[in-house]
Every structure is written in structure tokens, then in C-alpha cells.
Amino acid sequence: MAKRIGADRKREARTLAQALGAVLTDLRTAKGWPQETVAERSGYSVGYVRETELGGNPSLELLTAFAGTFSMAVSDLVRAAEDRVRQNSTVPVQPKK
């Protein structure tokens, strides 16, 4: 079995990109998949998977592919990441008026 990269340490989630990476890592490891499996199922390289999990800024196309890989809507993926940012924020997030 391939090493479960990213699963062995706590993920930072101060930015939306970091939180998306953490959420994707959690989804992947919950299924017991290595990054290679996500790459194969999404049609993107392991490098894209790794970069995104580490907090890189993914394109909408990449997020759409990853969401499809986990049978979820992009909006649900982004919402989960937003929730994680709120949980890790030291400053309360104020809704826009």
C-alpha cells in the first residue's frame, strides 16, 4: 500500500485553499485511498492532488473533478472548507450585509 501522504499530520486551515486541502485529505483518507487513487479517478496527476492537499489554489475545473471523485457537489466541498476556516479562525467571521 502506498504511503498515505498528508494523513499523518494536522492540516492548517487558515485560508480557504488550506481548508480545501485539509477537507480533500480527510475525504481521501476516510476512504483509505492513496493520492494515486484520487489522481486516477479525477483524471489529474498526483502532483495536482498533492499540491491541492498542501493548500495550493485549485482551479474550478480541478475542484469539480475532485468533488465528482468523492460523489459530492462543488458547493458542498467549498462549504466544508469554509466551515473549517471558521472553526480555526481566531477572529469571528462576520456575514456580509
How does pLDDT run across 1-18, given as a tens digit for each residue? 444 444 555 666 789 999
Percent composition of the chain: helix, strand, coil (DSSP 3-state, to 5): 60, 0, 40
Distance between CA atoms of residues 51 and 90, nearest Å: 26
Instruction: Kindly indicate whether the domain formed by 16-88 is annotated with CATH number 2.40.30.40.
Output: no
Is pLDDT of 94 > 90? no
* Continuous segment of H or E residues that includes residue 61: helix 60-69
pTM exceeds cut of 0.85:
no
Q: Computed from CA positions of residues 6, 36, 47, 70, in that sequence, does the dihedral angle turn out positive or negative? A: negative
Question: Grid coordinates standing for 65?
Answer: 473533478
pLDDT tens per residue across span 40-58: 999 999 999 999 999 999 9
Is pLDDT of 79 > 50? yes
